Chains A and B, each alone.
Chain A
């Protein structure tokens, strides 16, 4: 199933410190990963494991980053990447006081996208009937689809989607995953985070994160074979226990022990 066409994201020795002043916390340390292009790569991990932080480093809005983050052959945040990478933040980032189509047209002008792109993006997320509705009156799921539509406008080569399917019903979730698949078939690389483990089934490749580092990186089949488990949730727990044997398990032993 893997197409070895190239590398979308290459990260080595990544470290991220979040917050400022006295509230600084080291959130990611020593993370290495390669995201191949043209695939749907799932980024899974519990709440607070650093998924959003990793994505922010990839799109180049995260400050206090050390190590190497290379996106489509350029350093993350390089000006030439701003048209080639689409980012959907975890909370829908859209203007609530203007209409759906006004949001799209604004970003289309910034990205140099056309009115056709506006129409296509609206159709892709199934929002054409709501185009003239004010975003502020939309439901949470509709709003997050507006946010996704904005990222589709410029047909980016890499899409970084932070929990794009949270709060959506099963039908919409299926439709969106079908859309992600179509985009990948056209050659788009996707990095999609989720903490719904069953969405792992839809991904070509999985990155399992915990506490600021990678637990595992591979296809679902590889992970199941490696851990001898039957589903991704069991595989995750097995990997966690490998790292921290349950006896005397102390979540802070990395800092305090050794």
Chain B
């Protein structure tokens, strides 16, 4: 791995996104629209205060996962990945370069979304707001890291597409948003323990209920570990040689 190649890759990815207004729209505006719709649906009830922080963490994860998966799929289809693999660029440079570029966007996305939810929709967070923001950014970066790992593990474009729902749906079902995790069958609860989204959602639920950084830092640490793990998995499973 070498910093010049990593940063060059991050810069190239950001340039690509800058030239693509629709992707910028999906990344920044779509999560706001979704939260706005929820706020409008439950106008006059405490639902937004209770679930708003969760949505602020969830939507960026899904959006970033999809955008990253599509970006890396295009890298494969256009033949540029094959070409990159004939240059001195390290596999980790490609993976971390993408993570840095999308991480920068994740920060922007989470800030815009949190500001919109608090000031426009009127969400009242019982816990510390900056920690909600931190978890939202980490969740978005986690979405990117999972997208990178999935497309590195996939051997073909087809496998990469197949992996997308396989990764996202089990996490949605078991993360505690649909049903509190202590009310789940034991087997599902055990599954939720090994899936990363669970920990972000757990932290956000605690924050909505009035927790501060000290109470959720364990969960935040687990999310960070999952991010690092997914990036390492992505960098080590990406193949220079393809069938």
New A-B pairs, 18, CB < 8 Å, besides A63-B239, A87-B86, A96-B78: A17-B243, A20-B155, A20-B243, A60-B240, A65-B241, A82-B87, A93-B80, A94-B78, A94-B80, A95-B16, A98-B12, A98-B15, A98-B16, A106-B9, A107-B87, A109-B5, A110-B84, A110-B88
Task: Encode contact with A along B11-23: 1 for CB under 8 Å, 0 otherwise.
Answer: 1100110011000
13 CB < 8 A contacts A-B: A17-B243, A18-B243, A20-B243, A61-B82, A63-B243, A77-B240, A91-B79, A95-B12, A98-B19, A106-B8, A106-B9, A110-B8, A110-B84
Q: B243 — which chain A residues lie within 8 A by C-beta?
A: 17-20, 24, 63-64
Q: A193 — which chain B residues lie within 8 A by C-beta?
A: none
Once bound together, how far apart are the Cα atoms of A152 and B82, in whole Å?
17
Task: Encode contact with B along A94-113: 1 for CB under 8 Å, 0 otherwise.
Answer: 11111000100011011110
Query: In whole Å, how far is A9's beta carbon from the nearest beta carbon of chain B?
Result: 15
Say yes or no: is B38 at the interface (Cβ < 8 Å to chain A). Answer: no
- Which chain B residues in 71-130 approach chain A with CB under 8 Å? 78-80, 82-89
Q: Is the CB of A93 within 8 A of B83?
A: yes
Q: Is the CB of A111 within 8 A of B85?
A: no
Main secondary structure, interface of A, reads: loop
Q: In this complex, what residue of A is CB-closest to B239?
A: A63
Query: In whole Å, how far is A112's beta carbon from the nearest beta carbon of chain B?
Result: 7
Q: In this complex, what residue of B is CB-closest to A82?
A: B88
Q: In this complex, what residue of A is CB-closest to B89?
A: A110
Size category of the binding interface on chain B: 20 to 34
Q: In this complex, what residue of A is CB-closest to B79?
A: A93
Say yes or no: is A188 at the interface (Cβ < 8 Å to chain B). Answer: no
Size category of the binding interface on chain A: 35 or more
Q: A93 — which chain B residues lie within 8 A by C-beta?
A: 78-80, 82-83
Query: In whole Å, how far is B8's beta carbon from the nearest beta carbon of chain A?
Result: 4
Q: Contacting A150 at CB < 8 Å: which of B83, B88, B239?
A: B83
Question: Which one of B15, B156, B239, B243 has the highest number of Cβ atoms from chain A below 10 Å of its Cβ?
Answer: B243
Once bound together, how far apart are the Cα atoms of A144 and B57, in whole Å?
43
Q: Is the CB of A20 within 8 A of B5?
A: no
Say yes or no: is B45 at the interface (Cβ < 8 Å to chain A). Answer: no
Q: Please report the number of residue pairs spanning A and B whose Cβ atoms sit closer than 8 angstroms.
A: 82
Task: Encode contact with B along A68-102: 1 for CB under 8 Å, 0 otherwise.
Answer: 00000000010100110101010111111110001
Query: In whole Å, how far is A21's beta carbon from the nearest beta carbon of chain B?
Result: 9
Once bound together, how far apart are the Cα atoms of A107 and B241, in whole Å?
20
Q: B12 — which chain A residues lie within 8 A by C-beta?
A: 95, 98, 102, 106
Q: In this complex, what residue of A is CB-closest to B84?
A: A110
Q: Is the CB of B88 within 8 A of A63?
A: no
Q: Contacting A110 at CB < 8 Å: which of B15, B87, B156, B239?
A: B87
Query: In whole Å, how far is A104's beta carbon from the nearest beta carbon of chain B?
Result: 11
Q: Is the CB of A79 within 8 A of B88?
A: yes
Once bound together, how far apart are the Cα atoms of A109 and B19, in whole Å?
21
Say yes or no: is A49 at the interface (Cβ < 8 Å to chain B). Answer: no
Query: In whole Å, how far is A235's beta carbon from the nearest beta carbon of chain B?
Result: 33
Q: Is the CB of B19 within 8 A of A134?
A: yes
Q: Contacting B88 at CB < 8 Å: which of A18, A19, A92, A111?
A: A111
Task: Encode contact with B along A1-41: 1 for CB under 8 Å, 0 otherwise.
Answer: 00000000000000001111000100000000000000000
Query: In whole Å, how far is A107's beta carbon from the nearest beta carbon of chain B?
Result: 7
- Which chain B residues in 188-241 approach chain A with CB under 8 Å? 239-241
